């Protein structure tokens, strides 16, 4: 039985007077990939903002490794082993690939371990080694996505949060990134919470999934079963669950 690393218990969050999350309960277990799928505005990214302390929840509780996480300052959350790859990549455009990657290790002090992590990232993403000294702005969208995932790995996370990693990426590179997510979880025992509008990709690489609509979890279960669920198929085509 896998240990639960992250859990939401009846979490509510709102922006001004508009609810973003309404009684959401989810969990992520050690070493698994969990997908959050649904349309824009469904509340997927709000879950990531609540985990990272960027948005404060109104009620409910968030637990990470058995300890309450909500109300923890955002700066401390990274040091607990949680790293996020935000939507839209958010690179440092005028810095080199090398310096972008090293920014992910800003809270670490052991230079030998940082160098080992950097070599591991470059081995996982050979394109980044080829472009190591280039400015980040000269990379393609897919290469930038590889770089920001690599940057997140430089903090040695136990839990990796990915917000729409396939957005704006060429289909071939989406496949490469999807394979990389699977390999990262498998090889480094990193738990992954994946937010994706590309439901087919998300369900194909995750073990479990939660489908969201208007701030609520409306379906959940084993990803292999959900990918054949007629309600998920309807949602994937744009209809309401």
Note the CATH architecture for domain 4-89+152-236.
3-Layer(aba) Sandwich (3.40)
The CA dihedral of 114, 116, 118, 121, to the nearest 10 degrees, is -140
Domain boundaries, the chain: 4-89+152-236
**Structure tokens, 238:** 């744009």
Sign of CA dihedral 59, 8, 79, 179: negative
CA distance 4 to 120: 27
Which of 30-34, 124-128, 170-174, 221-225 bottoms out in mean pLDDT, i.e. has the lowest?
170-174
| Model pLDDT for residues 156-188, shown as the tens digit of each residue | 999 999 999 988 888 888 888 999 999 999 998
Contacts of 146 (CB under 8 A, 6+ apart): 125, 127, 128, 176, 177, 180
| Model pLDDT for residues 51-103, shown as the tens digit of each residue | 999 999 999 999 999 999 998 988 889 889 999 998 877 899 999 999 999 99
What is the residue whose two structure tokens read 């071939």? Answer: 172
CA distance 190 to 196: 18
**Structure tokens, 23:** 């009684």
CB atoms within 10 A of CB 121: 21
Contacts of 38 (CB under 8 A, 6+ apart): 44, 197, 211, 212, 213, 235, 241
**Structure tokens, 80:** 């607990």
What's CA 60's distance to the chain center, in Å?
22
């Amino acid at each position: 039985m896998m240990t639960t690393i992250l859990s939401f218990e009846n979490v509510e969050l709102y922006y001004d007077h508009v609810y973003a999350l309404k009684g959401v309960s989810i969990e992520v277990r050690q070493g698994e990939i969990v997908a959050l799928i649904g349309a824009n505005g469904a509340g997927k990214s709000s879950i990531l903002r609540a985990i990272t302390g960027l948005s404060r929840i109104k009620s409910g509780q968030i637990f990470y490794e058995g300890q309450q996480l909500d109300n923890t300052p955002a700066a401390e959350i990274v040091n607990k082993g949680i790293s996020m790859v935000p939507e839209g990549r958010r690179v440092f455009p005028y810095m080199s690939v090398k310096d972008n990657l090293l920014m992910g290790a800003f809270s670490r002090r052991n230079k030998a371990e940082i160098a080992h992590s950097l070599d591991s990232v470059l081995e996982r993403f050979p394109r980044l080694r080829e472009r190591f000294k280039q400015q980040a702005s000269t990379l393609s969208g897919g290469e930038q996505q590889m770089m920001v995932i690599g940057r997140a790995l430089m903090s040695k996370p136990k839990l990796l949060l990915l917000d729409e990693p396939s957005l704006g990426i060429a289909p071939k590179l989406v496949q490469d990134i999807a394979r990389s997510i699977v390999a990262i979880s498998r090889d480094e025992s990193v738990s992954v919470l994946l937010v994706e509008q590309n439901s087919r990709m998300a369900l194909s690489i995750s073990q479990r999934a939660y489908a969201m609509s208007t701030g609520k979890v409306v379906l959940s279960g084993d990803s292999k079963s959900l990918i054949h669920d007629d309600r998920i198929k309807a949602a994937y085509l744009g209809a309401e669950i």
